[in-house]
Amino acid sequence: MMNNASGPPTDPPAPRTPAVRAEGLTVVRGPRTVLRSLEFTVPRGQITGLLGPSGCGKSTLMRSIVGTQAKVTGTLEVLGRPAGHPTLRTRIGYVTQAPSVYDDLTVRQNLDYFTAILTPGRSTSDRRQEVDRVLADVDLTSHADALAGNLSGGQRSRVSLAVALLGTPELLVLDEPTVGLDPVLRRDLWTLFHSIAADRGATLLISSHVMDEAERCHRLLLMREGEILADDTPDALRTRTGSETVEAAFLHLVDEATAAAREKETTR
């Protein structure tokens, strides 16, 4: 009998693609072009912050990445697949701005329900372990038996985050996960985000319009009016613009873009 050693060599592993790669990404919503020809990558295993003023297109970009946005054109690859590919469903955790939990179920019942859908066929004890883990992650163990409808806004957001953490996804897309949370909870959540990236090697894309949260990210995508103003590390942004904070760097880049647009208008 021959062994495999004399057979053809196995294919070398595919090079690791970025978590997200966009080229010429354009999105139309209603009568408006909301995202215009975006080009960027999101590296794996890091926290990328998506920052910009209200209405600049952060949620639309996140919806495109998780595959729930219509009228997306251009290239958008997520974990090496076209965005929205069915195999991505269990590899991505997504938290929308509005918590999506059932008010008439307890916190644990919500998590039991979603884990049964995500990973059917697992044993009850496996599922219980998983639910206990995510409850501890978001610091809601003591509220496991409370009805979701009786929780505060911040607690309900954390139940949504716990749902997204089920199944240990490779990519977490979190739309303003810290809105309305007190400073202690915000700090604890950022510690959790960093441990998810460092210990589990997951990629996190986190939107915010609170600029001090930018300092906590490895990389930043700064957006304005459907375009990407900058794609860099917080340090590089501050250095490049001679600013002390990311907020000042952002304002500097906005002024620069406005001046460039004016110049283009006058030379027409």
**Which spans of this chain sit near ligand ATP (rule: CB under 6 A)?**
29-30, 32, 34, 52, 54-60, 209
Q: C-alpha angle with apex 234: 228 to 235, nearest 5 degrees? A: 130
Query: Nearer Cβ to ligand ATP, position 64 or 115?
Result: 64
Query: Nearer Cβ to ligand ATP, position 63 or 216?
Result: 63
Using CA atoms, how far apart are residues 239 and 245, in angstroms rounded to an integer?
Answer: 10
Query: Nearer Cβ to ligand ATP, position 149 or 153?
Result: 153
Pairing of strands 72-78, 227-232: unpaired
Structural contact between residues 21 and 75, judged by C-beta atoms closer than 8 angstroms: yes
Using CA atoms, how far apart are residues 56 and 237, in angstroms rounded to an integer?
Answer: 19
Output the smallest distance, CB 111 to ligand ATP, in A. Answer: 26
Closest CA to 118 of 91, 139, 145, 99: 91
Output the smallest distance, CB 57 to ligand ATP, in A. Answer: 4
Output the smallest distance, CB 162 to ligand ATP, in A. Answer: 22
Output the smallest distance, CB 175 to ligand ATP, in A. Answer: 7
Query: Nearer Cβ to ligand ATP, position 118 or 257?
Result: 257
Q: How far is CA 113 from CA 51, 117, 148, in A?
A: 33, 7, 13
